[in-house]
Amino acid sequence: MNQSSTTPFTGITLALSKGRIFGETLPLLARAGIVPLVDPDSSRQLILPTSRPDVRLVIVRASDVPTYVQRGAADLGVAGLDVLLEQGGEGLYQPVDLRIARCRLMVAVSQGFDYEGAIGRGARLRVATKYAKLAREHFAAKGVHVDLIKLYGSMELAPLTGLADAIVDLVSSGNTLRANALEAVENIAEISSRLVVNGAAWKLYRERLAPVVEAIAQGVKETFGEEVP
Ligand code: ATP
Ligand code: MG
């Protein structure tokens, strides 16, 4: 099921990113009997064997997870809904909301900036974000004219330096916004991480993938309960 000619691995490859997503996915995988044999934070290895010889993890950038799974280099992946919405998630089946790495995609401005007033006046807003598509769609739906400024990180700095009037970014506790004298003014989307599956692999190898997908879904239920988030 792995189409690469450079590796003889024939089991299931799961792509995920280091940091928050890795840390929060680990307990769910453990409940499914999948425990990495290498710690990605202390190792430079990017392919991690697990306690199950037929399952391995590959460590990629968060925004690269869909690419690996779409192209079949990984069978499964863990990706934030933010990444999936921004990139489109074409060719991916999303069977499980993992209910981890939860946050909101929000519009934020400098404390005291009159956001509603600016919109009411029909002002053209300068908006800094790494979510160009989602930001464009959000403001287009509101009929607000924007100049989008594409950034790759540290969005909070943009209003503080005069680069932008507003940012579109992920917010969880709000501590980062507060620490930078910013305030959230609008909620765009509720975000959590999703298990994604290559759509073609799901059709061809369903009997091999489904037990792993179901075990992870069961782990989510045992961890967070049955109720809809
Ligand atoms: P990199 O840091 O490598 O540039 P990244 O910033 O996309 O990539 P992370 O910061 O680890 O990587 O974020 C990965 C995912 O975790 C995001 O796509 C999102 O789904 C989720 N996430 C990001 N920030 C938060 C947050 N503050 N609270 C909860 N979940 C978050
Ligand atoms: Mg980051």
Q: CATH no. for residue 169? A: 3.40.190.10
Inside any domain, residue 4: no
Atom of ligand 1 nearest to the CA of 176: 27
What would the pLDDT profile of 124-170 be if each residue is shown by its tens digit?
999 999 999 999 999 999 999 999 999 999 999 999 999 999 999 99
The phi, psi pair for 45, rounded to 5°, reads -65, 135
As a whole number, mean pLDDT of residues 93-109 equals 98
Cα 152 to ligand 2 centroid, rounded to whole Å: 9
The mean pLDDT value for 68-77 works out to 97
φ, ψ dihedrals at 12, nearest 5°: -100, 130
Burial of residue 150 (number of CB atoms within 10 Å: 0-12, 13-18, 19+) = exposed
31 Cβ contact list (under 8 Å, min separation 6): 215, 216, 218, 219, 222, 223
Please tell me whether residues 26 and 92 are part of one structural domain. yes
Residue owning the nearest CA to atom 18 of ligand 1: 80
Look at residue 50 in the predicted model and tell me its pLDDT. 98
Q: Which bound ligand lies closest to the C-alpha atom of 101?
A: 1
Q: Whole domain around residue 118: which residue ranges?
A: 103-191
| Its pTM surpasses 0.85 | yes
- Name the residue of 16, 18, 20 whose CB sits within 8 Å of the most ligand 1 atoms, as the mutation to test its pocket: 20
Q: Is 67 within a domain?
A: yes
Residue 2 lies in a domain: no
CA angle 213/214/220 to nearest 5° reads 95
Q: Are strands 55-59 and 12-16 parallel, antiparallel or unpaired?
A: parallel
Same domain membership, residue 110 and residue 176: yes
- Total of domains in the chain: 2
In a domain, 47, yes or no: yes
Question: Is residue 7 assigned to a domain?
Answer: no
